[in-house]
């Protein structure tokens, strides 16, 4: 296999045995990035002077047999929402480039283990979309099909991994921004338990002392063992880089595929069904379940918590309009409007503190329900997205419609549904690729566990990857 498609663990082995140098590996990564830049457009900012300086230092230290960090010599990019010393994150906004920046906490932790941080990967404007494009850096394409999106908001991260431009990435997730791109590009990602990894140096918003509600920082990679390795570096709490063996036989898996309130494309359903059947054939106890939380209650709570964050910078004129619409919105909801309707969007975007407190109390109740649920199961296996990667669509947000393989169309906001449970309740969720659709597009699934079971979901993902195989190289021309 091309070394640039190997995972970080294999690249580290080759570096440590001096089959190649850190500088040579960086040369290869930069050359591939240059070659694919126009077609994929994943890496949008670089600091090659420092990267080559750091690579040379690592090669010199290795030649002297000095102790090395856990990521020694690995060229690595991060999402363009993390500040890098001398390379401020833009989140697709030119105005954010005019800042002095120091390394985000997760960047400094990776550097402390001798990773070579050489670039930033593209993200949608304000990191607020499931497609990756902005006026500053343009559109990022999916390496599996250049006419389709790699997802968002960590779309540049996922595309860079799938195209072999980096072995490790750091992204963030409040609306599926780690899991959806991993799903669309056929790579791995881990949404940690809320609060497990520092958000310091993540933009937007400005560098607050408090963590942003719902949001998490997490690793992306081409293998589950790489996720675990990077988690062991960037996590606030100790986590072994080596996964304990998890036997598939006897594993209790709750399969959540049937949810009448949620759209699910037939191609995605088929791939996850086949995956579940393979687990069962290998001894797992797979039990179909409905959502442990009633769907409308889940989505009402999630949107009441999410929309105030995503619309915090709403222009004054638009906010005034939303305030005027609160009355009609309440009437529409009383008459049966659903949680992803315009009415709920208006109400949640203008939420009063008492309304937020109610949603927060509902979340606490859900967390208790899920705590009981996970006494019966090791993981909850579910889709990540209702469909695989879709064609680029840069129309205004609310005019976008998604089209399934059977021709049905549905709301763009349906992309919130399957990712909502883990996000709302602060649960860990490991995303792994499980196969390809009839159109040769990746399909992933997420393994959701109870709070603080990150090590467990990562270990289970690794056992499943070893059973079915993992990352596949895209047919990038």
Q: First vs last Cα of the chain: how many Å apart? A: 17
In a domain, 19, yes or no: yes
Could you list the residue range(s) of the whole structural domain that residue 130 is in?
3-234
Question: To the nearest whole number, what is the mean pLDDT of the chain?
Answer: 96
pLDDT band at residue 311 using 50, 70 and 90 as cut-offs: confident
Residues 224 and 351 in one domain: no
Last residue of a domain, one of 234, 269, 287: 234
Go through 91-116 and write b for each residue having 16 or more CB atoms within 10 A of its CB, e for each that does not: bbbeebeeeebebbbbbbbbbebbbb
- Whether the per-residue pLDDT at 320 is higher than 80: the answer is yes
Can you tell me the distance from the alpha carbon of 26 to that of 9, in angstroms, rounded to the nearest whole number? 16
DSSP 148: B
Last residue of a domain, one of 189, 212, 234: 234
In a domain, 344, yes or no: yes
Residues 223 and 310 in one domain: no
Q: What pLDDT, on the 0 to 100 scale, is given for residue 205?
A: 66
Q: What pLDDT, on the 0 to 100 scale, is given for residue 207?
A: 61
In a domain, 112, yes or no: yes
Can you tell me the distance from the alpha carbon of 222 to that of 153, in angstroms, rounded to the nearest whole number? 18
Residues 52 and 162 in one domain: yes
Token code pair at residue 79: 């999402």
Token code pair at residue 77: 């990019």
- Whether the per-residue pLDDT at 1 is higher than 80: the answer is no
- Whether the per-residue pLDDT at 355 is higher than 70: the answer is yes
Last residue of a domain, one of 234, 264, 287: 234
Can you tell me the distance from the alpha carbon of 129 to that of 137, in angstroms, rounded to the nearest whole number? 15
In a domain, 40, yes or no: yes
Residues 309 and 170 in one domain: no
In a domain, 397, yes or no: no
Whether the full predicted model's pTM is greater than 0.95, yes or no, is yes
Q: What are phi and psi of 313, to 5 degrees?
A: -95, 25
More confident residue, 397 or 370: 370
Residues with Cβ within 8 Å of 434's Cβ and at least 6 positions away in sequence, in order, are 271, 272, 275, 443, 444, 445, 468
Q: What pLDDT, on the 0 to 100 scale, is given for residue 134?
A: 98
In a domain, 285, yes or no: no
Residues 180 and 322 in one domain: no
Among residues of the chain, what percentage have pLDDT more than 70? 99
Please say whether the beta carbons of 267 and 397 come within 8 A: no
Residues 326 and 178 in one domain: no
DSSP 397: G
What is the crossing angle of helices 22-40 and 48-63, to 10°? 150
Q: What pLDDT, on the 0 to 100 scale, is given for residue 243?
A: 76
Q: Is 15 helix (H, G, I), strand (E, B) or coil?
A: helix
Residues 62 and 208 in one domain: yes
DSSP 64: T
Residues 92 and 200 in one domain: yes
Give the strand pairing for 138-139 and 133-134.
Answer: antiparallel
Please say whether the beta carbons of 402 and 386 come within 8 A: yes
Q: What pLDDT, on the 0 to 100 scale, is given for residue 206?
A: 58
Residues 195 and 301 in one domain: no
Q: What pLDDT, on the 0 to 100 scale, is given for residue 21?
A: 99
Summarize the confidence of residues 452-477 as an average pLDDT.
Answer: 95
Residues with Cβ within 8 Å of 27's Cβ and at least 6 positions away in sequence, in order, are none
Q: What pLDDT, on the 0 to 100 scale, is given for residue 316?
A: 84
The CATH number covering residue 226 comes to 3.90.1300.10
Can you tell me the distance from the alpha carbon of 233 to that of 69, in angstroms, rounded to the nearest whole number? 10
Can you tell me the distance from the alpha carbon of 268 to that of 199, in angstroms, rounded to the nearest whole number? 32
| Prior bond of 136 cis (ω within 30°) | no
Q: What pLDDT, on the 0 to 100 scale, is given for residue 152?
A: 98
In a domain, 340, yes or no: yes
Residues 97 and 224 in one domain: yes
In a domain, 254, yes or no: no
Residues 103 and 221 in one domain: yes
Q: Measured between alpha carbons, how far is residue 310 from residues 160, 209, 314, 386 in Å?
A: 26, 18, 9, 22
Q: What pLDDT, on the 0 to 100 scale, is given for residue 208?
A: 66
Quote the number of domains for the chain.
2
> 163: exposed, middle or buried (C-beta count within 10 Å: 0-12, 13-18, 19+)?
buried
Residues 209 and 331 in one domain: no
């Amino acid at each position: 296999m091309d070394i640039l498609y190997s995972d970080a663990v294999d690249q580290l082995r080759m570096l440590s045995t001096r089959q190649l140098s850190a500088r040579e590996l960086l040369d290869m990564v930069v050359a591939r990035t240059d070659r694919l830049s126009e077609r994929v457009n994943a890496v949008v900012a670089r600091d090659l002077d420092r990267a080559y300086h750091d690579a040379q230092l690592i090669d010199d230290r290795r030649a002297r047999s000095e102790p090395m960090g856990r990521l020694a010599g690995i060229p690595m990019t991060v999402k363009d929402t993390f500040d890098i010393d001398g390379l401020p994150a833009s989140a697709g906004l030119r105005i954010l480039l005019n800042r002095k920046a120091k390394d985000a906490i997760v960047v400094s932790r990776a550097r402390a283990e001798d990773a070579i941080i050489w670039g930033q990967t593209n993200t949608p404007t304000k990191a607020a979309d499931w497609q990756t494009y902005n006026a500053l850096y343009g559109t990022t394409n999916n390496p599996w099909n250049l006419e389709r999106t790699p997802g968002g908001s960590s779309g540049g991260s996922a595309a860079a991994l799938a195209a072999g431009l980096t072995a490790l990435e750091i992204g963030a997730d409040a609306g599926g921004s780690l899991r959806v791109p991993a799903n669309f590009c056929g790579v791995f990602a881990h949404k940690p338990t809320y609060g497990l990894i520092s958000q310091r140096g993540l933009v937007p918003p400005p560098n607050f002392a408090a963590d942003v509600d719902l949001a998490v920082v997490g690793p992306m990679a081409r293998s589950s063992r790489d996720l675990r390795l990077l988690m062991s570096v960037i996590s606030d709490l100790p986590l072994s880089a080596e996964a304990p063996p998890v036997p598939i036989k006897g594993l209790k898996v709750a399969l959540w595929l049937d949810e009448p309130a949620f759209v699910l494309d037939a191609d995605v359903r088929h791939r996850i069904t086949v995956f579940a059947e393979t687990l069962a054939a290998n001894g797992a106890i797979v039990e179909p379940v409905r959502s442990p939380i009633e769907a409308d209650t889940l989505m009402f709570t999630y949107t009441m918590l999410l929309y105030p964050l995503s619309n915090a910078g709403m222009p004054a004129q638009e906010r005034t309009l939303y305030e005027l619409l609160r009355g009609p919105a309440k009437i529409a909801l009383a008459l049966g409007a659903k949680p992803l309707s315009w009415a709920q969007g208006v109400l949640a975007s203008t939420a009063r503190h008492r309304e937020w407190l109610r949603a927060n109390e509902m979340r606490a109740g859900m967390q208790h329900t899920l705590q009981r649920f996970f006494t019966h199961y090791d993981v909850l296996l579910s889709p990540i997205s209702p469909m695989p990667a879709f064609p680029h669509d840069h129309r205004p947000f609310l005019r976008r419609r998604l089209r399934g393989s059977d021709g049905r169309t549905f709301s763009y906001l349906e992309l919130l549904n399957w990712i909502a449970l883990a996000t709302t309740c602060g649960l860990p969720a490991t995303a792994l690729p499980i196969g390809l659709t009839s159109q040769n597009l990746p399909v992933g699934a997420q393994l959701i566990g109870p709070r603080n079971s990150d090590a467990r979901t990562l270990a289970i993902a690794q056992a499943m990857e070893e059973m079915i195989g993992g990352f596949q190289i895209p047919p990038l021309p």
